[in-house]
Amino acid sequence: MDELRHLFRRAADHAADYRLSLPDRPVGVPVDQAALNEAFAGPLPDAPTPPERVLADLVAAAEPGLVATAGPRYFGFVVGGASPAATAADMLAAGWDQIAFNAVTSPAAVAAETAAGTWLKELLGIPATASAGFVTGGQAANTAGLAAARHQVLADAGWDVERRGLTGAPAVRVFAGAERHATIDRSLRLLGLGTDALRPVSTGPQGAIDPDALAAALRDAGPGPTIVCLQAGNVNTGACDDLRRACDLVHRHGGWAHVDGAFGLWAAASPATRHLVDGLETADSWACDGHKWLNLPYDTAFAFCARPDVHAAAMSYAAAYLVGSGGAPAGADLTAESSRRARGFAVWAGLRELGRDGVAALVERCCALARRFADGLSAAGFEVVNDVVLNQVLVGFGDDARTDRVVAAVQTDGTCWAGGTTWRGRRLMRISVSNATTTEADVDRSVAAIARLAHGIGGELVH
Ligand SMILES: *Cc1c(COP(=O)(O)O)cnc(C)c1O
């Protein structure tokens, strides 16, 4: 027994050492992937290996290839860093080894998901009566939300899609902003609706859907099964669709409004940004990540649905007998997985650690730091291309080739990490401030490094 305790403690010590090293660690410097692969490679051993040795070998092999995404100066994609209590709770979830399938396999996991789901809906302003499925990411949450949408719009047309499938079904039209996230397209493929069902709707200057264009598109389409994918938080600009107006249009048309709010839905948690997602409560389903802006461990996201019965009808394989049991749908009834990791413990712990005020402060601080980034880079002579309404900043450093060179230089330098993107036909640097541990000093140090590297690269600064 002592060996097990020793092993777990060593794993926890390694994790803590790593986390404590993050503020000083080079961020995302290039690694030799072939050498890393080699460290893990080799024949599958015939004989068993003692666990202590396995752990030591794993740490040695992995350490050079770890990316400091959880650290304070990683601004790539939309990446947070899992908070202390949430990370510790996730370690417990692994130690407890629970199956969050239902209340029989783990009453504790179901209770944690239920409580955390209630808190999440409260923080986001989603109706308390909505269901909350704990899924792996925004991708899975979009798939669950759109599965519920598919169920309902076809049920309204007299078609039972769960039983009959899509062969011979009435055609479903799916409207989405031209700047939707690519996961929407994959969800439509997985659900058999296909990307040809997509009718892109034009977007305004910051990438939010144009409500007049949506109104016209719905009018032109006429009656029929209709799903509309809205967005809170454009991955480039942070722009949010006018959810109140769009949901109203969709509902007048008899359609289903799904909101992809992977990170942007968290605007709801602060009075300072709440107006950006005004009307979100009028949607029918919502996708939201925990592992991005809420700083929970991977893989954590939430699929909410205004009608739990529709959510379960689309996702559960036990819905029929749940009706008899009188229980509300929970656990695996609301997700595509059957046996599942108990991610509710980490969600509960992370929310408890922050509290309502802490979540609001996290959102506000990241937005303020994004503005500080934008101000600093503008002052240094670079072009901030978007309205910095949330935590995203888009920066140009001259023409496309020059911007790409600056992005590459920043990624090699290691002071901070930011990715490149193409927005409105232009190559840009994309900066996302989503980590609770990022400070003003981290932003200032990163601005200084970016400016030093950009000024060191020849060529014209101005586009
Ligand atoms: C990140 C993101 C997704 C996908 O989320 P995953 O957690 O990576 O699956 C979907 N939509 C938007 C708007 C996102 O930002």
Q: What is the DSSP string of 272-291?
A: TTGGGGTTGGGSSEEEEESS
Q: Which CATH number goes with the domain that contains 124? A: 3.40.640.10
Q: What's the number of domains the chain is made of?
A: 1
Residue 281 located in a structural domain: yes
Other beta carbons within 10 angstroms of residue 11's beta carbon come to 17
Q: Give the Cα separation of 39 and 31 in Å (integer).
A: 13
160: DSSP letter:
-
Residue 191 located in a structural domain: yes
Element (H, E) at 423: strand 419-423
User: pTM (2 decimals)?
Assistant: 0.96
Q: Is 261 in the pocket of ligand 1 (CB under 6 A)?
A: no
Tokens of 194: 């296909």
**254-293 pLDDT, tens digit each:** 999 999 999 999 999 999 999 999 999 999 999 999 999 9
Q: How far is the CA of 174 from the centre of ligand 1 (A)?
A: 19
CB-based burial of residue 446 (10 Å sphere; 0-12 exposed, 13-18 middle, 19+ buried)?
buried
Q: Give the Cα separation of 243 and 232 in Å (integer).
A: 8
* Closest approach atom of ligand 1 to CA 138: 5
Residue labelled with tokens 């640097």: 429
Q: How far is the CA of 144 from the centre of ligand 1 (A)?
A: 14
Q: Which amino acid is at 83?
A: S
The protein residue whose alpha carbon is closest to atom 5 in ligand 1 is 138
Q: Is 242 in the pocket of ligand 1 (CB under 6 A)?
A: no
Q: Is 78 in the pocket of ligand 1 (CB under 6 A)?
A: yes
**141-197 pLDDT, tens digit each:** 999 999 999 999 999 999 999 999 999 999 999 999 999 999 999 999 999 999 999
pLDDT at position 199 is: 98
Q: Is 237 in the pocket of ligand 1 (CB under 6 A)?
A: no
- Report the Cα 311 to chain-centroid distance in Å: 20
Q: Which of 375, 367, 365 is nearest to 444 (CA)?
A: 375
Residue 151 located in a structural domain: yes
Bridge partners (DSSP) of residue 387 are none
Q: Is 427 in the pocket of ligand 1 (CB under 6 A)?
A: no
pLDDT, the chain, mean = 95
254: DSSP letter:
T
pLDDT at position 461 is: 60
Residue 419 located in a structural domain: no
Q: Give the Cα separation of 454 and 445 in Å (integer).
A: 14
Residue labelled with tokens 């695996």: 332
Residue 291 located in a structural domain: yes
Residue 189 located in a structural domain: yes
Residue 33 located in a structural domain: no
pLDDT at position 1 is: 64
The protein residue whose alpha carbon is closest to atom 3 in ligand 1 is 138
Residue of 135, 188, 237, 260 with the most ligand 1 atoms within 8 Å of its CB, for mutation = 260
Query: What range does the domain containing 252 cover?
Result: 88-349
Successive 10-residue mean pLDDT values, the chain, 463 residues: 93 97 90 94 96 97 95 97 98 97 93 98 98 98 98 98 96 97 98 97 98 98 97 98 98 98 98 98 98 98 97 84 60 92 98 98 98 98 98 97 97 96 97 98 98 86 55
pLDDT at position 321 is: 44
pLDDT at position 360 is: 98
pLDDT at position 323 is: 47
Residue labelled with tokens 């047309």: 157
Q: How far is the CA of 101 from the centre of ligand 1 (A)?
A: 24
Q: How far is the CA of 72 from the centre of ligand 1 (A)?
A: 21
Q: Is 241 in the pocket of ligand 1 (CB under 6 A)?
A: no
- Report the Cα 32 to chain-centroid distance in Å: 28
Q: Do strands 426-432 and 392-396 pair parallel, antiparallel, or not at all (unpaired)?
A: antiparallel
